[in-house]
Structure 1
Amino acid sequence: MEVEIRLFASFREGREKKYFFKIDNLNLTVRDILEKLDIDEEEVAILLINGRDGKVDSVLKDGDIVSLFPPVGGG
């Protein structure tokens, strides 16, 4: 199983823009990915799975694309 993780804005600081995880665990959740990337789930403002709203406890499937956005400020 392979999933793609895309990071945006400040989540890219000290990390890559994209990650590809080859996983044998069929119960892999977004929370598991956040732990691997050392991202606190409270820091995630927008979480998309294949372009749709997702949740940290969503179980991922082969080919899923997860996009993670932190809160974005601006003026």
Structure 2
Amino acid sequence: MPIEIKCYATLADRAPADAAAFPIAPGETVLDVLARLSIAEAEVKIVFVNGVISPLDHPLADGDRVGVFPAVGGG
């Protein structure tokens, strides 16, 4: 079952080639997907699933839209 995943800012280069239809297995969580993309938990500041801030242990479902954001600095 596919999800859509978008990685932003410094994580953009980790987005998979099939980001618009990234395959996941039943029961996979956001953290499982991050591990598959070689994104460490410490690199992630916030995750949205279907537009809602979600924890890393959030279970994913078919068609979910996931946005992954790193901590952003600047001023």
Q: TM-score range, shorter-chain basis? A: 0.7 to 0.9
Contact 2:15 2:37 in 1 (8 A): no
Gaps of 5+ in 2: none
Superposed CA deviations along residues 33-73 of structure 1, whole A, max 9, x for unmatched, are 00011001111111000010111111101110110000001
Q: CA RMSD in A?
A: 1.6
The residue identity in structure 2 corresponding to 1:12 is A
Structure 2 contact 11–70 (Cα < 8 Å) conserved? yes
Q: TM-score, normalised by structure 2?
A: 0.87
Relative to total residues, which structure has the larger helix share, 1 or 2?
2
Letter in 1 for 2:29: T
What pairs up with 1:36-75 in 2 under 5 angstroms? 36-75=36-75
Aligned residues: 73
1:35 maps to a residue whose letter is: A
8 Å contact from structure 2 (residues 31, 56) kept in 1 = yes
